[in-house]
Structure 1
Amino acid sequence: MENYFNYFAEIEEHFQKRRGTGLLLSTLDWALIETWKDAGIPLEAALRGIDAAFERYEARPSRTRKVNSLAYCAQEVFATAEDMKEAAVGTARDKPTDAGTVRGFQPAEIAAFLRKNAEALAAAKLPQGTGLSAQAIALETARTLRDLANKIAESKSLPRLEDLERRLTVMEEKLFAALLAVTPDDEVLSVRTEADRELAPYRRKMPAAQIGQLQKQYVHKRLLERYGLPRLSLFYM
């Protein structure tokens, strides 16, 4: 994906620019960007979709209410992605950009990021469920991150960032599953209710599959915030 590691930042900046005033993205907005990333929606499609949504909004005779969520643009983003996909059929695909060249990452920078997350995980105080310890999984993840950081620092060369990103994603998903299992049901229900409430105005604008993924991402982010845990993805460097 073009501008792989700028995906979040560019979408945030573009949305704020089109809105005209600074607006911090909500948990729902960040979760939505993650669903776009996971669905393989190109950055260009996301930016074009945001433009199309605002052009439609600006064409309305009455604009007393501002666009306060990125979710307002979701339908146009999906439509734009589909249009681009259809237009690309039968054409040669460009050679994918090496993710390691996009932001000019340095081995020391990645190693420091991994060590920082390892320290946060090792210091976290997590609940323990019957037969399952989120604390143990966090400590195991911290050890793995330290090992990865040491190997990268010693080699003084960039690893394959796509492979590293996949591994970090697997570790984060494992940690999330543990948190979901040990968090009291009423707390999880409260977060899901919160997600449903925020999603309510936009349900008709998004496919059911995307709604389900967005709910999952929302709960994921809230639980990590609840326990003060870092995001492991290189997107958060």
Structure 2
Amino acid sequence: MSDAGNTCNKRGRLKIFFGYAAGTGKTWAMLEAGKTAREKGADVVIGYLEPHDRPDTSRKAEGLETVPCRVQDHNGLKLREMDTDAVIARAPQIALVDELAHTNAAGSRHRKRYRDIQELLVHGIDVYTTVNVQHLESLQNQVAAITGILVRERIPDDIFDLADQIELVDIEAPELLDRLREGKIYHADQARLAAQNFFTEDNLVALREIAMRRCADRL
């Protein structure tokens, strides 16, 4: 961890790109906002990006500086995690950090990525990040009742409510299902399984309504 003496007096600002399911375009919107900020003169880096094997997302990130991730061994697997110290040392104005609710690999300084993001904010770095409605702690039972799935990666609601800005990234449920069928969210086998479980139109319509209501409550 960086020395406390290097901590900036001005806390960074947190902007969350908020959606109701995978594939709504949160990461794309975050990258677009980062590029717009850079064009206006801001110093912007990617602290962590999860492309999910989506070529369009990878292409969207082209031209933005990326702080290399650290790689950890876990049961023979190579896991990529944000290098929080490297981002702090780089000291950009804005860091783009995908997947706010992510659980870090064992042995990381923090168990959850939102704790890493809190460190960046303390050091005066603005953070753009992404999260879906099902990852909010207070909504886990409601989401489980609708989808039959208990989401294990969650964030406390106070992290969401203390954000300086929430941007709802929204598309209609039928359009999202079209994206699923076109292979723009998951590979074919995963897409078929998702369509039978989480990605039913009834589920998506209900989750979209919850996300819109939660965003309105926050505002």
**Structure that is richer in helix per residue:** 1
- Higher Rg of the two aligned structures: 1
Larger RCO of the pair (alpha carbons < 8 Å, separation 6+): 2
**Structure that is richer in strand per residue:** 2
| TM-score > 0.5, shorter chain as reference | no
TM-score, normalization by structure 1: 0.28
TM-score, normalization by structure 2: 0.30
